[in-house]
Amino acid sequence: MLKLADARRIIDAAEKKAKEIGQPMNIAVVDEGANLISHIRMDGAWLGSINIAINKAFTSRAFNISTKELAENSQPGDQFFGIHVSNHDRVMIFAGGIPLKDSKGEVIGAIGVSGGSGVQDQTVAEAGAGAHTC
Amino acid sequence: MLKLADARRIIDAAEKKAKEIGQPMNIAVVDEGANLISHIRMDGAWLGSINIAINKAFTSRAFNISTKELAENSQPGDQFFGIHVSNHDRVMIFAGGIPLKDSKGEVIGAIGVSGGSGVQDQTVAEAGAGAHTC
Amino acid sequence: MLKLADARRIIDAAEKKAKEIGQPMNIAVVDEGANLISHIRMDGAWLGSINIAINKAFTSRAFNISTKELAENSQPGDQFFGIHVSNHDRVMIFAGGIPLKDSKGEVIGAIGVSGGSGVQDQTVAEAGAGAHTC
Amino acid sequence: MLKLADARRIIDAAEKKAKEIGQPMNIAVVDEGANLISHIRMDGAWLGSINIAINKAFTSRAFNISTKELAENSQPGDQFFGIHVSNHDRVMIFAGGIPLKDSKGEVIGAIGVSGGSGVQDQTVAEAGAGAHTC
């Protein structure tokens, strides 16, 4: 089970990366139930990204997939096109959400990052996920 | 900080432009926190544009970008496709929303215009933004 | 039909009264269709009152009654108790919303005010409604 | 302006108090625009309190009042009864939300706490607010 201490360590690692690349971010971590454990908005990060970061984390745990991969299946004509309006508009289909797994490979939570380009969000989310220890 | 007097001056300039081009508009201004300062619906303007004008202003402040530019990154296949359902469906991804900045270049609010074609909305929003003095 | 010029005159009168009593307010006017014509938030007025002022105006036109009177019928045990969750939570059941009538006594819009005590909101709404000429 | 470092210090102080009284809590801080800066859910805290803590903070900034005081004016028959359905159901009318002020007494944000009894939430919120330095 992911605890607050884990969420904080993951968020700290993501925040460090965001500072390195010079882009303030919103960073969120959800648990096994896809429920928020913690969120931070770095100084100067976009207000609209509060909701997006939290919901990228929700999405990644809700479907056990990165939002970047989900995006590839959710474009017009794709098998999941339209999924973004499900779950009360909480499904984010662009990069920045990554599942977190336990030592058996089971998804036990997720990180969501929003505040820059898709590439930046993904980079920061990966840095956060990298600080997760099974 | 953007005050009501500023919002009124910005709205008046936008309204003047809307009259010039002969297209009644909804015009809204939000502050630094993306919260509404003022809104007008010109006589004969679309009812559906009340919500859109207010939310274009919200969007431009929420992401510190014009909704016209955001639109270019939010089409199918683009890095932000799907962003329009975030933030409780308040993210508008078509022209008519423009950030307002202070003398240091920091975004301190935004104007949103809706009621005509994309070109018309953008033209009127630019006229309003042009009346903003840092 | 209520026009933007009418809404502005009504709002100006309400704003003047709000200044007199020293309480910054949100003030909104809706038309015959209960759709927003104009809104202002005076400097320093509560952020939470943006939504309330607009919805008090909506409510007064939606039921052709002042929100103060509606309140008297909407308490626990009263005939309309529970009405406040109808219409997507837009029904406000406390003072500050007043219908606006034409020369035949037909309701053609409403004013909504929020930002102070119930007595203050009502006082300012009455000042605005007083500037309405059939 | 309230920064992330401020929010963290306020949250840490609240968390410390929550541990002292042995009740895990959700703790949130919003900024001047009533937008979320940071949130934590302590291990074992109620899932339903994520939303409540964030919205108590929203409410305290939205109306520049503690949710405990707002509660006293929002009971059946009171001047604000019904306010809890405004603002898209984000207005919390029970203890645990406290405004944060600057050195001039202006409200620049708020803390919201949820996870225990009203007395416990208020106690923890006060501890957090006490760590706020103008």
Beta-sheet strands, E only, within chain C: 26-30, 36-41, 97-101, 107-114
Q: Which of C48, C52, C50, C41 is nearest to C18 (CA)?
A: C41
In the structure, what pLDDT confidence band is assigned to residue D123 with cuts at 50, 70 and 90? very high
Helix (H) or strand (E) holding C102: none
Do A36 and D43 count as a contact with CB atoms less than 8 A apart?
no
Quick check: C4 pLDDT over 90? yes
Q: Mean of the pLDDT values across residues B76-83?
A: 97
Question: What pLDDT sits at residue D133?
Answer: 84
D 99-128 → C contacts, CB under 8 A = none
Q: Is D81 within 8 Å of chain C by CB?
A: yes
**Section D114-131 average pLDDT:** 98
Dist CA A41 CA A47 (whole Å): 8
- Rounded Cα gap, residues C24 and C26, in angstroms: 7
Q: Is the pLDDT of residue C133 over 90?
A: no
The residue-averaged pLDDT of B57-84 equals 97
Who's near C90: CB < 8 A, 6+ residues apart?
C55, C58, C59, C62
Residue from D11, D40, D52, D114 whose CB has the most chain A CBs within 10 Å, to mutate: D40
Contact D4/A36, CB-based, under 8 Å? no
Contact B64, B107 (CB under 8 A): yes
Which amino acid is located at A8 in the chain? Answer: R
Strand-pairing partners, residue D114, are D26
Which chains pack against A, by 3+ Cβ pairs within 8 A?
Answer: B, D
- Residues from chain B that touch C42, judged by Cβ atoms under 8 A, are 4
How far B45 CA sits from the closest chain A CA (Å)?
28
Residue of C nearest to D81 (CA): C94
In this prediction, residues B55-74 reach a mean pLDDT of: 98
Chain C residues in contact with B47 (beta carbon < 8 A): 33, 35
Is pLDDT at A127 greater than 80 in this prediction?
yes
- The DSSP code for C62 is H
Instruction: For chain B, list the contacting chains (3+ Cβ pairs, <8 Å).
Output: A, C, D
Q: Kindly state the average pLDDT of the residues C55-77.
A: 98
Predicted pLDDT at C33: 98
Contacts of D43 in chain A (CB under 8 A): 3-4
At residue B17, the pLDDT reads 98
Superfamily of domain D4-66+95-130: Haem-degrading domain (3.30.450.150)
CA distance C112 to chain B (A): 14
Using CA atoms, how far apart are residues D81 and B109, in angstroms rounded to an integer? 32
Q: How many CA atoms within 13 Å lie on the side-chain side of A46?
A: 23
**Given a cut of 80, is residue A134 above it in pLDDT?**
no
Per-residue pLDDT, D134: 72
Per-residue pLDDT tens over the stretch C81-96:
999 999 999 999 999 9
Q: Quick check: A93 and B81 CB within 8 A?
A: yes
Q: Does chain A touch chain C (at least 3 C-beta pairs within 8 Å)?
A: no
Partner D contacted by B76 (CB < 8 A): no
D/A touch flag: 3 or more CB pairs below 8 Å: yes
A5-58 tens-digit pLDDT? 999 999 999 999 999 999 999 999 999 999 999 999 999 999 999 999 999 999
> What is the Cα–Cα distance from D2 to D4, expressed in whole angstroms?
7
Question: With contact defined as beta carbons under 8 Å apart, do C52 and D86 qualify?
Answer: yes
Report yes or no: B88 at the A interface, CB cutoff 8 Å: yes
CA distances from C6 to C129, C130, C131 (A): 11, 12, 9
Identify the closest residue of chain A to D41 by CA–CA distance. Answer: A37
B134 has a pLDDT exceeding 90 = no
Task: Using the predicted structure, report yes or no on whether residue D13 has a pLDDT greater than 90.
Answer: yes
B4-130: CATH topology: Beta-Lactamase (3.30.450)
Domain coordinates in residue numbering, chain A: 4-130
Segment B25-29 mean pLDDT:
98
C134, pLDDT greater than 80:
no
- Give D66's contacts (C-beta < 8 A, 6+ positions apart): D60, D95, D97, D98, D99
Residue A133 confidence (pLDDT): 84
Quick one: what percent of chain A has pLDDT higher than 90?
A: 99
D31 to B35: CB separation less than 8 angstroms, yes or no: no
Residue by residue, DSSP assigns A34-94 as: S-EEEEEE-TT--TTHHHHHHHHHHHHHHTTS-HHHHHHTSSTTSTTTTGGGHHHHT---S
Query: Are A71 and B91 inside 8 Å of each other by CB?
Result: no
pLDDT at D44 over 90: yes
